Amino acid sequence: MSALDRSTLNAIRFYQRFVSPRKGFRCAHAALHGGESCSAAVARIVRDEGLLAGRGRIARRFAECREAHIQLGSPSPFALSPLTLGTGGPRVRGVCCCGPIPIPFRCGG
């Protein structure tokens, strides 16, 4: 595993441990389809293939998350208040688990 892959996995672990629990919304892909969040999926891809070799799969996952975001009718990723779907349903805002945090991949159209 390269230094870049280790750094990426450390950054994802930091995000999952300290940022994600406090952001107040959930990954649109996980909310719509169930299963793992984008951060967990990207970590798995990086572990399996490496960041550079897996970048196509990572970009596809983010595009799928963008589509889920659209299907759920979520507001702009820069909206101030999250959307609550139904009573006690998943709260989704933003794209690809990152909300307004920019990510280094293009998410859909």
Q: What is the pLDDT of residues 14-23, one digit of tens each?
A: 999 999 888 8
Q: Count structural domains, the chain.
A: 1
Is 80 a domain residue? yes
Is 98 a domain residue? no
| Full pLDDT tens readout for the chain, 109 residues | 899 999 999 999 999 999 988 887 788 999 999 999 999 999 999 999 999 999 999 999 999 999 998 888 855 554 544 444 333 444 444 445 544 444 444 444 4
Is 22 a domain residue? yes
- The residues near 83 (Cβ < 8 Å, ≥ 6 apart) are 72, 73, 74, 75, 91, 92, 93
pTM equals 0.69
Is 45 a domain residue? yes
Chain CA centroid to CA 94, Å: 9
Range of the domain at 38: 3-92
| Alpha-carbon Rg for the chain in angstroms | 14
Is 75 a domain residue? yes
Angle formed by the axes of helices 3-14 and 38-49, nearest 10° = 160
Q: Which of 12, 75, 84 is nearest to 46 (CA)?
A: 12
Give the tens place of pLDDT for each residue, 47-65: 999 999 999 999 999 999 9
pLDDT of residue 20: 87
